[in-house]
Amino acid sequence: MHESVRPTPEPAIGAAQVPIAAEVADAHDMEPALYRTSYWAGCPIPSSTWVKESEAEISANVQRVIQSEQLEKGEVNPERVSLIRRIMFMNTKDRMKLAMKGDREARSILIRDSNKVVCSAVVKNPRVTEQEVENIASMRTVADEVLRLIALNRSWARSYPIIHNLARNPRTPIPTVMNLLPRIRTKDLLNLTQNRNVSEAVRRQAYRLQHARGGQ
Biggest CA-to-CA distance, the chain: 62
pLDDT of residue 23: 52
Instruction: For residue 22, give the nearest of 116, 111, 86, 77 by alpha carbon.
Output: 86
Half-sphere exposure of 201 (CA within 13 A, CB side): 9
Orientation angle between helical segments 130-137 and 144-152, nearest 10 degrees:
130
Burial of 156 (0-12, 13-18, 19+ CB in 10 A): buried
Distance (Å) of CA 73 to CA 70, 80, 85, 175, 216: 5, 12, 18, 29, 37
Kind and range of the H or E run holding 52: none
- One-letter amino acid of 105: E
**How large is the average pLDDT for residues 32-60?**
56
191: left (phi over 0), alpha (psi -120 to 50) or beta: alpha
**Mean per-residue pLDDT of the chain:** 82
Report phi then psi at 77, rounded to 5: -75, 160
Chain segment 124-169, per-residue pLDDT in tens: 999 999 999 999 999 999 999 999 999 999 999 999 999 999 999 9
Distance (Å) of CA 170 to CA 23, 136, 164, 187, 205: 34, 13, 12, 19, 15
Q: What is the pTM of this model?
A: 0.75
In our burial notation (b when 16+ CB lie closer than 10 A, e otherwise), range 79-114 reads ebebbbbbbbbbbbbbbbbbbbbbeeebbbbbbbbe
Chain segment 162-189, per-residue pLDDT in tens: 999 999 999 999 999 999 999 999 999 9
Would the pLDDT of 121 be above 50?
yes
